[in-house]
A and B are shown apart, each in its own frame.
Chain A
Amino acid sequence: MLGKAGVGGGGGTKAPKPSFVSYVRPEEIHTNEKEVTEKEVALHLLPGEQLLCEANTVLKYVQEDSCQRGVYGRLVCTDFKIAFLSDDESTLDNDETQFKNKVVGENDITLHCVDQIYGVFDEKKKTLFGQLKKYPEKLIIHCKDLRVFHFCLRYTKEEEVKRIVSGIIHHTQAPKLLKRLFLFSYATAAQNNAATESRNHTVMFDTPEDWCWELERTKGSMKYKAVSVNEDYKISDRLPAYFVVPTPLPEEDVQRFQGHGIPIWCWSYHNGSALLKMSALPKEQDDGVLQIQKNFLDGIYKIIHRPPYEIVKTEDLSCNFLSLQEIQSAYCKFKQLFLIGEKNAETNAPVSCLSSLFRRCLKKAIEITACMDAQNMNILLLEENASDLCCLLSSLVQVMMDPHCRTRTGFQSLIQKEWVMGGHCFLDRCNHLRQSDKEEVPVFLLFLDCVWQLVQQHPPAFEFTETYLTVLSDSLYIPIFSTFFFNSPHQKDTNMGKESLYIQSKPLTLLTVWDWSVQFEPKAQTLLRNPLYVEKPKLDKGQRKGTRLKHQRQLSLPLTQSKSSPKRGFFREETDHLIKNLLGKRISKLINSSDELQDNSREFYDNWHSKPADYHGLLLPHIEGPEIKVWAQRYLRWIPEAQILGGGRVATMSKLLEMMEEVQNLQEKINERHHSPEAARAEAPYLLRNSASARLSSLFPFALLQRHSSKPVLPTSGWKALGDEDDLAKREDEFVDLGDV
């Protein structure tokens, strides 16, 4: 791995290019100053981006097979990114990185993407932070997208080293004010060319119409209504301006506890059951206040627990489920051991830890799905602020239950609805402002990880590819998009709108991530679209009504239709339980913390899996241990040794695309024969096809050319103790004496 400080010089036998230096020992590197000044690569700045500091003659290490090389260049730090500009132009042109990000280049690191910075002093690696007394000879930058950069500063002028190192440390690590985000400078500078049209029809949920549209789409409008009580954030700055509640709910109830204790609608299933969420009421000690709260909840409960509403089951996510600390520590361990711990890559303990997170999320989502689908229950997700695990679970359930959420626009709308408008604190959870490491929890990443499990288990069910998920996860750290840089819609609106510092004729318009053309050329965007996805066959309008019902019945799978549907008389008891829960007196905390699915959902799960999957219907993941995998494309893409050259899933996928093209060509030929021979040929070239001649790596489209030769990579770690098998290990295969000695 790149991580080792000592540079192995052994294999550097290839003829170096003029400014490629085969790195054997530092003394042997001849700095060719002339060359350096001759070929300056221009720094590309975004609108509003400013150069802060720079250093010349920096050597960036490039790992190639078992040897390391260096390439000279300029290291710069702007208020948007750290960038390395190679002196050697050829390295820029030769690599044909077809899957190029237009905003963040191969050697760019946005300031928000920086995870840890290390310095090497006399072969020792130390974390860098704050004011430095001594400046390192080597700078190592670990990124949140898991890239690792090594820069050698030995040939850089001392004052430049000081400037660049302290500059980088300051601009990536010092706490920042929201107003200082690059987002605002960019929006101000790029005001005139804000693109709004190509959002791919993603529903943003910032108008009452969007919510009504969603209610109509899910047939929830019978029982739920969109409200605008929180317009201008009069009631709560945690809630969006518009949201949906049960129709009979009086609007003053919403105001009572600033939106706490209110069931808020997320989504309705075609059988009428709905997914609701609620942020818990503030914890109170005072008995009087408790009584008031109890009465309030009683009232709320009465509304949602009588027909036409389904039976409500409360899922209290603050107990019996993951804690944010668990998520944080699992991802940390994973990062440390799996990626950064140099020689530890051969143990799967941290992977095991992470997989168990995925399993628990998927399991919970299955349980909720089972209740909604098989038992026609409403699910009320309860969490302190209803903006972390609530977002995770409600969106996961919708991906599984609603095929619309498996299209690209549907998925994007879902993220808008549940995460962006749902008030997930992206700013804090990603620690964009570097204000508190404790708050940094990759909840959204966990969601993407879970969706990835579904994508890899049911590839034809999704319109988007894993590459889409990977670039979406990368977009978390690009501060030109507003999507992931606010804690709530309130925060966004107040900072860009009327009260903004920038007193201008019109409020700032910020870009959204969903405008993928900002990051990728159309050619590259084809890689985000899954060729295996087949749109739901559209039926004629006449047919539609009749068949739709039939189709729905097929969807609601197992026949565990609550055999004896619980009588309404039991509810009193349930109510008490619910209220106890809501009030935080959690008595039965450990009732069901087992890892197994509960009986009901187990049957549901087995039943579903025993039938062929309907990719346009309900979709359940496999949660058996062997089925949970690691998202190799995201996590291994920068590790050259992890690549399978000419192998992996890409190999079959490119064959598939080749064949698709062949079929299409034939189709056109046949058309030509029937019509005029000049029939226009509209054809979008595939990246995969173009590079099919070259051997693709399993990590395509990332890390395309990091390994040039086909030398095998041998794992380094040796054999671990067998433990109790030692006796056997010492035995001979066959007990036969081979004769006298």
Chain B
Amino acid sequence: MASASTSKYNSHSLENDSIKRMSQDGINQGLSESVPRLPGEILITDKEVIYICPFSGPIKGRVYITNYRLYLRSLETDSALILDVPLGVISRIEKMGGATSRGENSYGLDITCKDMRNLRFALKQEGHSRRDMFETLTRCAFPLAHSLPLFAFVNEEKFNVDGWTVYNPVEEYRRQGLPNHHWRITFINKCYELCDTYPALLVVPYRTSDDDLRRVATFRSRNRIPVLSWIHPENKTVIVRCSQPLVGMSGKRNKDDEKYLDVIRETNRQISKLTIYDARPSVNAVANKATGGGYESDDAYHNAELSFLDIHNIHVMRESLKKVKDIVYPNIEESHWLSSLESTHWLEHIKLVLTGAIQVADKVSSGKSSVLVHCSDGWDRTAQLTSLAMLMLDSFYRSIEGFEILVQKEWISFGHKFASRIGHGDKNHADADRSPIFLQFIDCVWQMSKQFPTAFEFNEHFLITILDHLYSCRFGTFLFNCESARERQKVTERTVSVWSLINSNKEKFKNPFYTKEINRVLYPVASMRHLELWVNYYIRWNPRIKQQQPNPVEQRYMELLALRDDYIKRLEELQLANSAKLSDPPTSPSSPSQMMPHVQTHF
């Protein structure tokens, strides 16, 4: 898999691409020739600073701050360094040193980013030179705290493809063969009155009336009732998602909920039990009773079998990623790499998420039983499990558009709280709601694509681009917590979708080895032997770790592809020539092998 950075230092790879693209499209490069600008992007200030590069030491440069990005150009002749950082990735801005600090470069700003790096700038001590920079950055990086719009609402970029049309729930359900005899589409949540964090369109059992659904909603945390995510095209078993039941300390029961699950179980006309996967560790599920939540007990749900998947909560994941950053940035923990990595538990969490998803996929694929997945609220771990299981089961989601639909459906429309988890434009960097749940999902997808390098239409660059724009605030795709909020803000009208960027330039995101295989269930091996740290993402800022780009197998393959196309063309030409002078004997004086480049490989 290739990522496209070619610059010497790992400046924002994605941003470099966009610059190139923009100039191709002839969109204005800006009045100040030195800063690339998107349509709608305004230069606010610029300043001479010293960038303290953790890899090559202090570099004198000029920093430009716009309402979208921080851009630094080196003023030193021997350095090609360019930093191009969307302000959306900034998590925290700190002042370092005081007016009286001694020592070289001790006075300045330290910027913590959400994408596994820190940026340090040293400024001149005299004349409060940093105050201006600090204030501009704070205002533009955290617009919500200053009643300013996120850049996505100011962005005037135009693309020849509209990413907002990629996902149409009715079409997606129709692709799955829905509605059918057992499942119907309901508009009960059209105005988000049943559940404000669910999408407007839901698929529910045919036999359950809207009134039944309302009663079920009273027994599910935040009214997130069980609804269909995916149906197996042949055996008709389903993946259903929801939040935890409101059992509480007293062990409350709800006949409607119990009946509802039984109806779900019966939709594939199997006599087997319904499998419930509670993503949490059982201890946490029990503890949730204290706050009114809980899990489905055996007594209440005779026809269900519950297992816990032991996946930890958002706080554990956040701390784990923090530890990963500690061992990779700025320096890679050298001598005890594997034990340090082990102590972050990151891969172990990945393993548990993948293992859970494999179990879900296996149950459904084998036709043994339908599966209901939930955690506490059904918007973090649940989204991970259903979307990964769907990726394993349904090859459609392994295409570029299919994957976009999967993210749009299971994550965005079903209310993964992107705004809270990422903290777009919000200055409260220590917010306990922040957590890298979506990143963890993308990491799992990467692990799968690494194990099955021919099964995905997209490449690593695609995944990294998604993650970059998860933070950048350039597109509206990942803004806000749920569909109802997005509708209120008219996100689809007022912002551009990240899929517009990707789909208008698809070639760059394609995996040349992709081999379409319909109906192939993909089971990754969720063992520590095969899971590895996603170096090209987590350690991409370190110039020492730079992977060979592009990967040699891929490079050779592309050469061969070009050669093949060339030969096919030649062959066609020869055929034409031959039919033109059919009577003449071939009199080509020069041997074709002399004319053609030889394949430098042993056959």
Residues on A lying within 8 angstroms of B by beta carbon are 345-349, 351-352, 355-356, 359, 458-460, 529, 531-532, 534-535, 595-596, 606, 609-610, 613, 622, 624-630, 632, 636, 641-649, 651-653, 655-656, 659-664, 666-667, 669-671, 673-674, 683-684, 698, 710-715, 718-720, 722, 725, 728-741
Contact = CB atoms under 8 A, between A and B. Distances in A.
Interface string B534-555: 0100010001111010001110
Interface string B557-585: 10011011001101100110010000000
Contact of A712 (B281, B339, B523, B599): B523
Task: Give 8 nearest A-B pairs by CB, closest first.
Answer: A625-B337, A738-B292, A741-B248, A352-B338, A712-B523, A666-B567, A595-B335, A728-B315
Interface stretch (B109-117, B180-188, B586-594): B586-594
B345 interface: yes
Contacts of B359: 712, 714
Given A355-B337, A670-B570, A714-B358, A740 B513 contact: no
B440 to A, nearest CB: 14
18 contacts: A352-B339, A531-B556, A610-B8, A624-B332, A625-B332, A626-B337, A628-B337, A643-B525, A647-B453, A666-B564, A667-B596, A671-B592, A674-B591, A712-B359, A712-B361, A712-B362, A714-B526, A719-B352
A349 to B, nearest CB: 7
A728 to B, nearest CB: 4
Interface stretch (B13-21, B99-107, B282-290, B501-509): B282-290
Given A613-B548, A722-B316, A531 B291 contact: no
A656 B560 contact: yes
Contacts of B488: none
Nearest to B545: A624
Contacts of A667: 567, 593, 596, 599
Given A352-B337, A655-B454, 4 more contacts: A352-B339, A625-B332, A630-B529, A722-B316
B44 interface: no
Contacts of A729: 281, 284, 312-313, 315-316
A670 B601 contact: no
Contacts of B553: 459, 532, 649, 652-653, 656
Interface string B268-300: 000000000000010110011101110000000
B322 to A, nearest CB: 11
A613 B555 CA distance: 14
Nearest to B362: A712
Of the candidates A653, A710, A718, A728, the one having the most CB atoms from chain B within 10 angstroms of its own CB is A728
Given A532-B556, A731-B313, A741 B292 contact: yes
B602 A529 contact: yes
Contact of B560 (A529, A663, A738): A663
A663 B525 contact: no
B221 interface: yes
Given A610-B8, A738-B246, A713 B527 contact: yes
Contact of B342 (A348, A459, A710, A734): A348
A346 B452 contact: no
Contacts of A713: 523, 525, 527
Contacts, number: 260
Contacts of B377: 733-734
A737 B291 CA distance: 5
Nearest to B338: A352
B310 interface: yes
Contact of B535 (A610, A626, A656, A663): A626
Of the candidates B310, B313, B520, B601, the one having the most CB atoms from chain A within 10 angstroms of its own CB is B601
B305 interface: no
B337 A733 contact: no
B523 A655 contact: no
B41 interface: no
B403 to A, nearest CB: 18
Nearest to B292: A738
Contacts of A718: 310
Interface residues of B, number: 103
Contacts of A531: 556, 601-602
B252 interface: yes
A655 B246 contact: no
A730 B287 contact: yes
Contacts of B432: 735
A711 B533 CA distance: 25
B500 interface: no
Nearest to A676: B586
Given A606-B544, A666-B571, A733-B314, A652 B453 contact: yes
Contacts of B578: 673
Contact of A656 (B348, B533, B556): B556
B519 to A, nearest CB: 11
Given A636-B529, A670-B574, A712-B358, A656 B557 contact: yes
B405 to A, nearest CB: 24
Contact of A684 (B556, B591, B603): B603
A662 B564 contact: yes
A642 B312 contact: no
Contacts of B586: 673-674
Contact of B601 (A534, A647, A698): A534
Contact of A644 (B348, B530, B546): B530
A345 B528 contact: yes
A651 B337 CA distance: 29
A445 to B, nearest CB: 19
Contacts of B513: 651-652, 655
B334 A624 contact: yes
A366 to B, nearest CB: 13
A666 B599 CA distance: 12
B545 A674 contact: no
A345 B281 contact: no
Nearest to A623: B334
Nearest to A363: B334
Given A595-B334, A725-B319, A734-B433, A348 B246 contact: no
B351 interface: yes
A653 B551 CA distance: 12
B244 to A, nearest CB: 8
Interface string B118-155: 00000000000000000000000000000000000000
Nearest to B251: A741
A359 B380 CA distance: 39
Of the candidates A355, A664, A669, A734, the one having the most CB atoms from chain B within 10 angstroms of its own CB is A734
A646 B574 contact: no
Contacts of A711: 362, 523
